[in-house]
Amino acid sequence: MTKAEIISRIIDRITDPWTESPEDYQYAEPIDLDVAKDVLKQYRDDDDDCELDPEDRMPEEATPELLMEAFNCNVRYQKFELRVKRLAEYIKDNEMVCEYDNYYRPEYPDSPEVLPVDFIWESFPFKPIGSMSPDNPLFLIELGRRSKDFDSNKEFAWYDRENNLLHSTDTPFADGVLDAEAFARFVLCDADALGYFLDCIMDDGDILHIFGCTKEELLKEEV
């Protein structure tokens, strides 16, 4: 087996995807080589005691060094996933459409475009299908007739170009129109977006809950 295959097998042995969640790793810490030696011995003893099949056992090629690498890699991955999950919840709870439009959509222009309903009072802000101008009164009348669930009292609107319909909602992230998890992953990997969240939006309590550390500690990680 390659190193990557061995590490993958080790992670399969030391984790249970059916019962584990990122929250389980909130307080997990990396292990050193001495701990890895003890852990590897314990797993091999357990494999023998439980008479596990070869494919379910700790791979024979596993060494303390590889176990340490696999364990620590999994801890980092799970902690990152916990941040994604909590940041996505924060984005969803606060319906951060403006931030999504300013940071995410420029990088992913094919992602859904959701705008305040107020924008429609001035002109139709979406690119329509076909060649008819959105300023044509007939286009707007027909669109209004088809769009049965559009409510001008809602806060946000989006245009379904595939079906030529206009929709509205107060909660586009909670409704799944916008992908909170995708936006959260983007923010965590984009220095400008993350800096804006930390400096202009979140308080110390938000930062500690979502990232599991202070702003200063997080910035040291990024460096």
Contact by Cβ (8 Å): 6, 59: yes
Give the domain extent around 26.
Answer: 3-92
Strands (E), the chain: 114-116, 156-160, 165-169
Identify whether 42 is part of a domain: yes
Does 70 lie in the same domain as 29? yes
The pTM of this model reads: 0.89
User: How many structural domains are present in the chain?
Assistant: 2
Based on the domain organization, do 16 and 83 belong to the same domain?
yes
Q: Are 168 and 116 in contact (CB under 8 A)?
A: no
Q: What is the CA radius of gyration of the chain?
A: 25
Per-run averaged pLDDT (10 residues), the chain, 223 residues? 93 90 94 97 94 90 97 96 98 97 95 92 77 70 87 93 90 97 97 96 96 92 64
| pLDDT tens-digit series, residues 14-36 | 998 888 899 999 999 999 999 99
Residues 82 and 46 placed together within one structural domain of the fold: yes
| The pair of three-digit structure tokens given for residue 201, joined into one six-digit string | 């939006």
Where a domain ends, among 169, 192, 208?
169
Task: Select from 169, 191, 215 the last residue of a domain.
Answer: 169
pLDDT digits (tens, 9 = 90+) for 99-129: 999 999 999 999 999 999 998 887 888 877 6
Last residue of a domain, which of 60, 92, 124? 92
